[in-house]
Amino acid sequence: MDIAVTGFAGFEGSRRIYSEAAYREKLLSRYPESFFTVFSHDADSAYGLRADTRDIFVRTDGRGNALCDPDMRREYDRLYRSMNETGLAVDSAEGGVLAALWRLLKANGLGGTYSLTAIPVLQQTIEVCEMFGLNPYRLHSPECRVWLIKDMAELKSTAAGAGVPLSVTGFTTKGSAIRRTDTYVESSLRRPEADEILKIFPAGAV
């Protein structure tokens, strides 16, 4: 099966960090405020994203008009719930996208391969994580979902209609190893550690 990721790694965690005045002040000492518009709940960003509470990844036309079909967004969520119930999709709320990948494969008794560089992540999230020494791929991101898919057609169509980024990052294999394939030296994914957000906020603060 293919391994797919929808949404952006570490997005909600990095937005939460930016929302705190002390951390935001430090970030704004290096970057212009306009760079972080994507973290706003009510503004359209230069990257074509509307970051409100419900539809974090909905694309807009720059005037606040969604470029996705609301019915497709509901269908995307319905598809996720269905596959989550059958154990073929999980979110990245606890420990980030790499923890989600590890849990999903282990729950299905599978190994896999993955390319870290194929996982969608915003540059704003990368900059927040670099500033505070965090790994964006191990950071709280409940709207980032990992899927095991035999036929990508439905997910691709639904995610596109919902305005949600999607990337095929690898595929399942027999055995238990989860190998990263986009490095010169092959490495295996380790057991999940505590979510990176806990380095910034105490448990339960997100």
Which residue range(s) make up the domain with 79? 2-10+68-199
How far apart CA 13 and CA 5 sit, in angstroms, is 17
How far apart CA 68 and CA 84 sit, in angstroms, is 23
* pLDDT at 69 (0 to 100): 74
User: What region does 156 belong to: left with phi over 0, alpha with psi -120 to 50, or beta?
Assistant: alpha
Is 20 among the domain residues? Answer: no
Contact between 127 and 37 under an 8 Å Cβ cutoff? The reply is no
Is 85 among the domain residues? Answer: yes
* pLDDT at 126 (0 to 100): 97
In total, how many domains does the chain have?
1
Is 93 among the domain residues? Answer: yes
* pLDDT at 206 (0 to 100): 59
The ranges of the chain with pLDDT < 70 are 41-68, 203-206
Secondary element (H or E) of residue 1: none
Tell me, what CATH number does 6's domain have?
Answer: 3.90.650.10
Is 56 among the domain residues? Answer: no
Is 129 among the domain residues? Answer: yes
Is 28 among the domain residues? Answer: no
Is 38 among the domain residues? Answer: no
How far apart CA 173 and CA 194 sit, in angstroms, is 26
Is 21 among the domain residues? Answer: no
In this predicted model, what pLDDT tens digit does every residue of 28-64 receive, in sequence order?
A: 999 999 999 999 754 333 333 444 434 445 454 444 4
